Amino acid sequence: MLGETLIRQGLDNFQLQPFGLTFPRFSRRWVDVAQADISGQITYSRQNMQLQSSANWLAPFGGLVHKVGGGTPYNLPVSLMQPGGTAVTQEGLVLQLDPGAYLRLRRLYANLLEDNTTHNPRRERGESLRSVPNYFFIEGSFPGSQLGGQIDVGEDIGMSGNLTIYDEQGHPIDPLSVASALLALAGEHEVLLADDSAPDQLTAINDLETNGSFLVRLVRRNGTPYDGTNLMENLESTGAFTAQGIFPAAAFSGTDTTILREINRKAGTGNSGDFPDAQARLLMVGAAAYGRLSNRVRLPALPGGVTLKHDFFTLEVLDLTTYLTGTPDAAFNGSKIEPKPIIRLHDHIQLLSSGNDVMGGLSAIVEGSPDDALLVGETIEEDFTLPPDLATTQWPDFPALPGGLTATMEDSLPPNLRAELIEHSTAAFIDEGQPVDVNVLLTLTGLPVGAAVRAYHRRLGTDFTEERGDGAGGTVGTEVAALSGRTYNGLLVLRLEDPLGLEVTPGNFVAAVEPQLNVDLVVVLRNGTRRIYGNVQLPISTTAVADTTTPVDNGLRDVARRGIGHAGLVGLPGPTVNLPASPSAEDLLNAALQAMGETNPIGRDAPRLPLMLRREILAGSRRGTNWRGLISGSRVDRSLHTAEPRRGAPGSPGSRETQSTGLYTQHGRLAYTLARHALRRTESFYTRLPILVDDTNWGEPAEPTALAIGTDQTADAGPFASVVLQTISPNAETPELALLKSLVDGNINSIPTSFDALVDQLKAWVNSLNVGSLPGVLGTGVTRLRTEVVNWLEQQKDGNALSESQRERLYSEVLRELSTACYGRRDSLWALEEGIQSARNFIYLETPALGPVRYGTAGNEYSRDVLKMIQDRMNEVPALKLMICVPKVPEYDRRYHPLRKKEIAERFKLFVATTSGSSTTTPLLRDDRTVVFHPMGFPGRPSGLNTQTVIIDDQWMLTGSTTMRRRGLTFDGGTDVALTGFDRVGGKVTAIRDHRVALLQQRLQLERSNKTTLAGSNQARLRDGRAAFTLIREMLRADGYGLIERLWDGKDPHIAYTEPTMDENIWNPEGQTYSAGIATLVSWLLSQGSGSTTVFHDV
């Protein structure tokens, strides 16, 4: 009772002071003059959204003072954007409210200044639709006596000059509206005033403009103002400052009393006019604080009895015209001819944060009996288990326990299980008819029934230490008879691929003497109990046995249209190609056609230039008129089963250590577009065109109806905008069409715009080619163009039976194929340029490979240095941080070790100054605002990444199969989806934010312990991208805690290191200049013993 009495006395005597900085107490006295009359002391500029004072400013709130500019580090969590759209970089002081005080002030704004309506659904959570002050910036030279740190309300800041107020997102707020709001709050709760006896300068500030005002500021996501174009129907030009995006809003003229103001997008003008419907659909608006972007925004009415002389809202404007696609350089001929990527709206989208989820998406694609189905991957395996659906992809739900068995559930596993397994288990070489048997059948007896088991075989690493190999795994789904002295009766048979490393190089073997198998076993029960049993040793019987593992059929063999990209660069068996020592451009095209395999039983192997990768996973299926689609990267195989790698990826059959992400969509145009891209990989140009004539099966579906505001995503629609992007080098898609490039260049400004004219032009060009001078299959390809494409197109044109939609579809496909063959595509490069320009706070990049994106200054019309653009943007916006997750070891096969070594060295130079002889490199990216780390899988096993994801400010996202290096954005084949969402909270698209959090939880291995799913404090930090940056830096300073690794320089202990000197045109080529360096590539291949002067394998 005594303690309660003291608390009551403290509150009576000191009011809210005991709460300190965490309570939003504010002062009515803002400048250091004794009177309320501030005439001549404070002036107001609406244009600049500033107050100017000749006297020193006093702290309106208590909080923390930060110095900015003047060479001091920028410690604010956001970039403050000035009304003109540039970031605050000049010298000054920033007063930041304590986070607790800000949250309480925001709740007061919501509860006292907004009525409870359908237009502000988060009001009950204490979130205001109005801009709430969080930062007060005073521009000028800060006094030497000002050290920063904590400041109390009413304390002299020590500076006069211009004051600008900013909200939590860094957007400026009209200062008169802040004065009005604070007066209203004080009128309701006088206790908020720090000193009610202070002169009332706040009222004087509120009266700096005699007439009341209601202002909105239109702002783009990059912080620049929007000039009001096509949004002016309820906005006024009188009193507006267009260059700053500031407009008075007209009073609402409707009868709905819950609406204070309504801002509408101008109605579209049909197929033509000054605002065509196709343009109108891409312009959206909404409150910047939260809500759904749409064609209008409604601002909620004030509660009864509350008036504000000045009011203000920040509205976000999203113009999708270039936001997702960027703007290709108009000087590049490829940009002049290629059909542009099409923005898709309102599609159902699910972001897939793990390989298990990607498998669930594949299952949704192929389940049942679709009318058509397509599947593309680097390779496709049919013998790994898929989840039953998208909702059942994680352990212990997947893989399911076989019927008739009862899973073992224990709080702990016995330590003597290791000894029991050694006693009752066996290992033997598998008889596969090879000169030397290398694969091992491991039969584990005495396991808990229903458990997930992963066996990692031990092997000797490059630095002569033991490493864990890929091993094998599965679920214990067989029970044997009980045996005295054995705790459990589960049986699991595993196949281990060459666990002793007897195949030294491809096709070269050594025989084992008294072979021993040494494995680490991970056992995970279905209740989460886990134990690792290390160094389980078993003799390997040299009496070879049959492979008794049970094969599975995942249904992927039933997909009729399949495409692959077997490249020897990543260890997949590639076709043989012929290249003379000094190849011509025609020889290069001929080699690309030789790499094609139209009859490969796994799927159509697409044309591919030497050392080119085609990394995409694409899947699509149709049921009636409804499409389903999926995108990911790399291989469709067991390596997708990788969720929870630190626990051995429970239920996984075992594979290389890697992680995947993806995107699934259905019942909309995005799914259709992904299917169209998959069709380009599964069907050649010759067979594809007749397929696309079919209006019933390949006509474009209707755009989904936009969700009503307040409605969650449905199976048929979602709150997203997206676009499919392709990257590919010239000369790779239908290489024979690339022979027409000089003719296309000469007519680049007069390419036909109708189907009939394009067919006539194509016929003339193809018929002008001299087939007799062309090598090998290239001449055959041109003949096919004449007999199978041109003749067929002529029949369609002259038959005059095509509908308008059929003509449009064929025209677009023919023009696209011609453009891509001649110039390639680099859609993702242009999209990244736009995305980076919008970054203000953070960029998160995870990529399978990282290296320089550009060398030198040549090729401005087709090239961009994306990494330098990030650094330039960092120089423009001082709070911008960069987080990069990249595998320690790039994905090259061991035969291409020199390329791997060169990439690691060049990657290291991007971040760290290196010296070689008298030469010193300068890092491209700033160390103080960049963190880069390598992900780990199971302890001791560095993890790869199969997909690239770029997330900017939780607003803009790109995901797919490109990589962040020159070859990945200009040469290799890849497909990405760029997307954004319409549902935002605090300036963040909630779906993208949640996806980034899920990714980082896995990359940092914070997702869950072995027994609980309770989120820790570090997981909470991940919700804010800037806090995630700090968390990663803290982990790296502690050597990653064994969960992540620091950037590797490529040097192994105890092994002499030689600086790699490989030509960048070999390991990191540019698609536009690749042919110029082909002779260098051939010379290098010959030096590696890859072939004679004419024949090369697996390139």
User: What pLDDT shows up at residue 5?
Assistant: 59
Write the single-letter amino acid at 167: D
Residue 447 to residue 486: CA distance in whole angstroms: 9
- The two beta strands, 561-564 and 604-605, are parallel
Burial of 122 (0-12, 13-18, 19+ CB in 10 A): middle
Residue found under tokens 């407009």 = 247
Question: Which of 922, 423, 352 minimizes the C-alpha distance to 663?
Answer: 352
User: What pLDDT shows up at residue 1014?
Assistant: 41
Residue found under tokens 């040097």 = 1051
Residue 981 bridge partners (DSSP): 720
Instruction: Classify 5 as helix, strand or coil.
Output: helix
Cα distances (Å, whole numbers) of residue 96 to 64, 91, 534: 5, 16, 53
What residue spans of 324-416 are helical by DSSP H? 333-337, 355-366
Instruction: Classify 923 as helix, strand or coil.
Output: coil
> Which H/E stretch holds residue 519?
strand 516-524
Question: What is the share, in percent, of the chain residues with pLDDT greater than 90?
Answer: 85
Cα distances (Å, whole numbers) of residue 1 to 4, 5, 6, 19, 737: 5, 6, 9, 21, 90
Token couple for 375? 């599947």
Instruction: Classify 991 as helix, strand or coil.
Output: helix
Positions in the chain short of pLDDT 70: 1-20, 462-464, 1008-1015, 1090-1093
- 914: DSSP letter: -
Residue 976 bridge partners (DSSP): 725, 960
Token couple for 1089? 């013993």
Evaluate whether 287 touches 316 at the Cβ level (below 8 Å): yes
User: What pLDDT shows up at residue 564?
Assistant: 98
Write the single-letter amino acid at 423: E
Could you tell me the pTM of the whole model? 0.96
Residue 376 to residue 353: CA distance in whole angstroms: 20
Query: Helix 685-692 and helix 669-682: axis angle, to 10°?
Result: 140
The DSSP result for 747-758, as a single string, is TGGG---SHHHH
- The two beta strands, 1044-1046 and 348-352, are unpaired
Question: Which of 163, 175, 169, 150 minimizes the C-alpha distance to 97?
Answer: 150
Residue 812 to residue 290: CA distance in whole angstroms: 39
Residue 873 to residue 779: CA distance in whole angstroms: 49
CA dihedral defined by 553, 559, 560, 562, rounded to 10 degrees? -100
As separate numbers, helices (DSSP H) first and strands (DSSP E) second, the chain gives: 27, 51
Report phi then psi at 499, rounded to 5. Answer: -70, -15
- 527: DSSP letter: T
Cα distances (Å, whole numbers) of residue 197 to 207, 612, 775: 20, 76, 94
What residue spans of 494-600 are helical by DSSP H? 585-594
Q: ∠ CA(1023), CA(1029), CA(1032), 5° rounding?
A: 105
Q: Quick: pLDDT tens for 811-830.
A: 999 999 999 999 999 999 99
User: What pLDDT shows up at residue 1091?
Assistant: 63
Write the single-letter amino acid at 115: D
Q: ∠ CA(700), CA(619), CA(351), 5° rounding?
A: 95
Question: Which of 761, 781, 768, 581 minimizes the C-alpha distance to 684?
Answer: 781
| Domains of the chain as residue ranges with CATH | 12-322 (no CATH), 416-545 (2.60.40), 839-1051 (3.30.870.10)
Residue 231 to residue 228: CA distance in whole angstroms: 5
- 119: DSSP letter: T
The DSSP result for 618-650, as a single string, is EEEEEETTEEEEEEEES-BSGGG--SSGGGT-T
Question: Which of 520, 444, 456, 523 minimizes the C-alpha distance to 486?
Answer: 444
Instruction: Classify 467 as helix, strand or coil.
Output: strand
Q: ∠ CA(552), CA(553), CA(558), 5° rounding?
A: 170
Instruction: Classify 656 as helix, strand or coil.
Output: coil
User: What pLDDT shows up at residue 1079?
Assistant: 87
Report phi then psi at 208, rounded to 5. Answer: -60, -25
Question: Which of 212, 225, 234, 238 minimizes the C-alpha distance to 312?
Answer: 212
Instruction: Classify 540 as helix, strand or coil.
Output: strand
Residue 430 to residue 1070: CA distance in whole angstroms: 45
Residue 698 to residue 809: CA distance in whole angstroms: 9
User: CB neighbours of 244 closer than 8 A, spacing ≥ 6?
Assistant: 47, 48, 49, 83, 84, 217, 225
User: What pLDDT shows up at residue 927?
Assistant: 83
Evaluate whether 432 touches 547 at the Cβ level (below 8 Å): yes
User: What pLDDT shows up at residue 723?
Assistant: 99
- Dihedral over Cα of 752, 754, 755, 760: its sign: negative
Residue 724 bridge partners (DSSP): 977
The DSSP result for 242-253, as a single string, is GGGTEEEBPPP-
User: What pLDDT shows up at residue 1013?
Assistant: 44
Residue found under tokens 């249904």 = 555
Q: How many CB atoms neighbour CB 309 within 10 A?
A: 19
Instruction: Classify 799 as helix, strand or coil.
Output: helix
Residue 787 to residue 28: CA distance in whole angstroms: 85
User: What pLDDT shows up at residue 147?
Assistant: 76
**Side-chain half-sphere of 591: how many Cα atoms within 13 Å?**
25
User: CB neighbours of 944 closer than 8 A, spacing ≥ 6?
Assistant: 656, 657, 658, 659, 848, 887, 889, 891
Write the single-letter amino acid at 295: N
Token couple for 756? 């009939």
